[in-house]
Structure 1
């Protein structure tokens, strides 16, 4: 028995204009939510991230073992040298830049094991670095970054030297007087750029 009904082609009725606008609005809102959830704020505005990094500073710690002074802004290094290498943590002498952004110059640390526990020296330029290397020092780490030219609120960082024990020591200038607090037996060797001062000076042991 054959059906007298004919199969009619299926047609899609166009949505009313108002309904189409509502669908488009919902789709756009869903896409915006996905973008907001999947894109970190730092990736959306790299210029803002760069400005934040430019102003970030790190504490510059002074560690001492016998007559050797070691400086670092790495807290993991502080823990290592204090717990494993018998250094004493004297405190923070200044704050250094965390990156090269905004014309930061690297402050490099060198090491020479010539007598006793050896000694550390510091340099910001290739000339001083080469001079220390010619004296038997080897590059050890990048301590942080400094400004060559003074910025508002910054002070000079000096490297001092002791002729008796042949060791170097860093000293930041005082914010009020502009002069560094130098330990007895040391004299200014040369300056190492500019850093952010701290309120209290470290306890030199």
Structure 2
């Protein structure tokens, strides 16, 4: 297993829809092992294959609710359905409960409205289909990682003034073009 470099906003693989995994090969199993190691070292609660430079539709997740067991797994070729936002959900964003970070936009957090609940259908590492429902923070994690598979990074969804601030940060750090990455355990960055 190995810790992989995490691509930073601007790397083309992050901004293109990923392709289906299809057959689960030894190469895919090794990638998933490396992704878990990278996610844990970062540390993060999810990591999509495009974030480590692989344009395939899969992501890992490892999240523990305050009052529950850890939810840890891999979603291969997932399909995600999300509950619609209800009118009262359009109120002002809550910086504390709706802020997200991203390992591909490291060191920053911004508030973003997400659906409160989701249902996901995917395959596991053995190729077995599974379905799960999630709400709250875990639903946010799944939506965030699924966005990566469609070539969307959460800062692309931000509202003003956070969108403007995120892109100021990007210019200041010279992000936005190909070739930028960081390595968990070596580079002192957090997402």
Q: Name the TM tier (shorter chain).
A: under 0.3
TM-score, with length taken from structure 2: 0.23
Report which structure shows greater RCO (CA 8 Å, sep ≥6). Answer: 2
TM-score, normalisation: structure 1? 0.22
Max radius of gyration: which structure? 1
The structure whose residues are more often strand, as a share, is: 1
